[in-house]
Structure 1
Amino acid sequence: MVIFTADSLALMLDLLKQADFKTNHFYFNNGHQQDQVVGLDIQYEDFECNGSFQRLETRYRLKLTNGERVEFWFNRGQMKINTIKASQPMTDIGTPTQISQYNF
């Protein structure tokens, strides 16, 4: 089980790309509550340059159990994220009971 925030999303990307979301549990903390990640969608841009085709990852979307999607991308080495309401909580308020047993 891994809990991460928007601040660590760039570090988690390689792990999320290889993750099996049915057997491993990942939770995204948006500052108010934690939701389980059920998938990662990757948007690609395909293009041809000098006779060779290339495919680049342009955007990513985290699918959460509450139906919300968190979209993010990289622009000149910096991660950009669609606006989400986030704050820095001082306690574990909003932690679902099914994962609260893992918090310490």
Structure 2
Amino acid sequence: MFSNYFKTALRNLWKNKGFSAINIVGLAIGLSTCLLILIFVMDETGYDKYNENADRIYRLDGDIKFGGIISFWQLRRRRRAPRCCGIFPRSRRKRVFGCTGG
């Protein structure tokens, strides 16, 4: 039974080569785009998941509008960390980190 379906599909592919090529290329592009989006989402949602206390890690982000341009950046100032510990009383420790370039 399966061999009959396979033979019919091959006959239709050879009879309609143009439409078959368009459909196969479209399917390949759609699947590859879906996989790339899936990989991106998994990478973004897996931030700091390696840590055993990942549910207790928070990151402060900020944005500033200057001259019509909006910039997004991480808040890395050491003086902001004590204020955050005061706002969030359950916080035990604070760590400030960041990179200086790149």
Alignment TM-score, normalising by the size of structure 2: 0.29
**Highest Rg: 1 or 2?**
2
Bigger strand share:
1
Bigger helix share:
2
